């Protein structure tokens, strides 16, 4: 599948700039001056970029790999949402346990073997242990946890 999304992105940016512009009226001077300049810059350069795109279209943003990256971005949103329920370390463990093998399969096209799952499990253990030692034990950062009175 081929996705040409640069023109769509520029149009979206112009729309967002227009939306922000509508909010300028309620602002007191001089709080509105800088945003006005910035919005003109954003909308102006987006329009020029759009024209450039029509004159000389850039390379296509294609394929399965782009969609895979988008899927990972979406999964990150689910992971962040999960943190608020089960805490950082548990959510991260689950996330890495799932993502490591999936990325390996997606990158190399290699089958999902027991060895790959074991390596992913060990890598997760190492990363989560390192994070725990650095952030919780040494730096005393109050990370959201499932069984704590922390800020979940």
The site for other proteins (CB under 8 A) is made up of: 5-6, 9-10, 13, 17, 20, 23, 27-31, 33-35, 38-39, 41-42, 45-46, 48-49, 52, 58-59, 61, 65-66, 68-69, 72-73, 76-77, 79-80, 83-84, 88, 92, 95-96, 99-100, 103-104, 106-108, 123, 127, 131, 134-135, 139-144, 151
Q: Between residues 15 and 27, which has the closer beta carbon with respect to other proteins?
A: 27
The dihedral built from the CA positions of residue 55, 59, 64 and 66, taken in this order, carries a sign that is: negative
Nearest approach, Cβ of residue 39 and other proteins (Å): 7
Whose Cβ is closer to other proteins: residue 5's or residue 113's?
Answer: 5
* Closest to other proteins by CB, 59 or 111: 59
- Cβ at position 43, least distance to other proteins in Å: 9
Beta strands in 23-133 (DSSP E): 61-62
State which residue, 74 or 114, has the beta carbon closest to other proteins: 74
126-133: which pairs have CB atoms within 8 A and are 24 or more residues apart? Answer: 127/92, 127/96, 128/89, 128/92, 128/93, 128/96, 131/89, 131/92, 132/89
Q: Which two tokens stand for residue 117?
A: 């799952």
Q: Is the CB of residue 17 less than 8 Å from the CB of residue 53?
A: no
């Amino acid at each position: 599948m081929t996705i040409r999304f640069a023109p769509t992105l520029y149009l979206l940016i112009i729309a967002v700039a227009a939306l922000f512009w509508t909010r300028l009226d309620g602002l007191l001077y001089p709080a509105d001056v800088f945003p006005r300049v910035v919005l003109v810059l954003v909308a102006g350069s987006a329009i020029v970029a759009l024209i450039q795109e029509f004159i000389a279209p850039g390379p296509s943003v294609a394929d399965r790999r782009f969609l895979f990256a988008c899927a990972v971005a979406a999964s990150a949103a689910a992971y962040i949402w999960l943190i608020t329920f089960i805490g950082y370390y548990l959510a991260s463990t689950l996330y890495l346990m799932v993502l490591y093998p999936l990325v390996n399969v997606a990158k190399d096209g290699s089958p999902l073997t027991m060895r790959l799952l074991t390596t992913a499990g060990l890598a997760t253990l190492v990363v989560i242990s390192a994070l725990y030692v650095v952030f919780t034990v040494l730096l005393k950062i109050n990370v959201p946890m499932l069984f704590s009175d922390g800020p979940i």
